[in-house]
Amino acid sequence: MKKAKILIASKIDASAITKLEEKFDVICAFNADSETLKEKIKECSILVFRSGVQITREVMQSSDKLRLILRAGSGVDNIDMNYVAENPSIKLVRIPQPGARAVAELSFALMLALSRSLIVANQSVQEGRWIKNQLTGYLLKNKVLGIVGAGNIGCTVGQMGHSWGMNVIGCIDEATHPADVKPADYGVELMSLEEVMKRSDYVSIHVPKTEKTIYMINKENLSLMKPGAFLMTLARGKVVNEKDLLGALTKENGLGGAGLDVHEVEGEGMKSPLAGLPNVILTPHIGAATYDSMYEIGQIVIKHANEFYNSL
């Protein structure tokens, strides 16, 4: 029997690709442009993708055999969901949980690094300077942790916050919140976005990118935050207005610091307006990129692909 074809449009665990090749004709086109994807997807029954690639209506239309789309992660802002909804023969499966833990741990890495000025501390020692007496930091214990977007990832952050002895509050958008995620089960007390911004010592942002969330973190609600508070965003670029954040970080009695894993402009050659600030940490959208989470996601991709194979 002729092998069914799979297009893998984003890098996934290499061992998973090797396993898939036993049953499928696997085509890899990592982060390719739309024209390349339109060519590669022809005759493919399964599409696998992550962030960093755009899955347009035109791409999906290019295969009349497409039946299964596997989002190796959580967000669906880079796929035309209207097309998926219009085509009931296509099943979309998200794989959010393995990456949720990885993103949540990075949120805490940023919190800890900012709280203890680890980037400045490291740089000073590397340069032969000993500034011990200038680097008093903060404990996480007993601080208020605010979760903006208490879904899969946000609730995992909240659960970890309790383990650190933090008081956890959060907010959700009922329209996009996953029905199976109950914030109260993770110890997250729900309230309005405004209250979360006002009360929190640390704010960690995990909302999906929608028309409603673009620039939702702006000058107005940044001004609600406590002097010296910290903000982390591991959501999507443009959820935070970076120019407004720059103002909040550099004004007198402003924010204590910020950590951004996502940016308004991403990719080679990008330069954040926040670059160079000593109280800012910038990372290149690596939230879900751990060996462990990628392996687990790969195993789930194999499971769903095999179920599809067995249904043929």
Residue 263 known to be catalytic: no
DSSP string, 140-181: -TT-EEEEES-SHHHHHHHHHHHHTT-EEEEE--TTTS-TT-
**Coil vs helix vs strand at 44:** strand
60: three-class secondary structure by DSSP: helix
Active-site residue, selected from the candidate residues 236, 242, 263, 296: 236
For residue 234, give the nearest of 73, 5, 60, 80 by alpha carbon. 73
- Inter-residue contact 211 to 153 (CB < 8 Å): no
21 is an active site residue: no
Q: Which of 162, 195, 266, 304 is catalytic?
A: 266
Cβ neighbour number for residue 49 with a 10 Å cutoff: 25
* Nearest Cα to Cα of residue 193 among 171, 174, 168: 171
Q: What are phi and psi of 101, to 5 degrees?
A: -65, -40
Q: Find where tokens 């050659």 sit.
A: 269
101 is catalytic: no
Contact 261, 236 (CB under 8 A): no
Residue tagged active-site, from 57, 67, 116, 285: 285
What SS3 class is residue 233? strand
**Angle at Cα 246 formed by Cα 244 and Cα 247, nearest 5°?**
65
d(CA 114, CA 187): 24
Residues annotated as catalytic (active site), given as ranges: 236, 266, 285
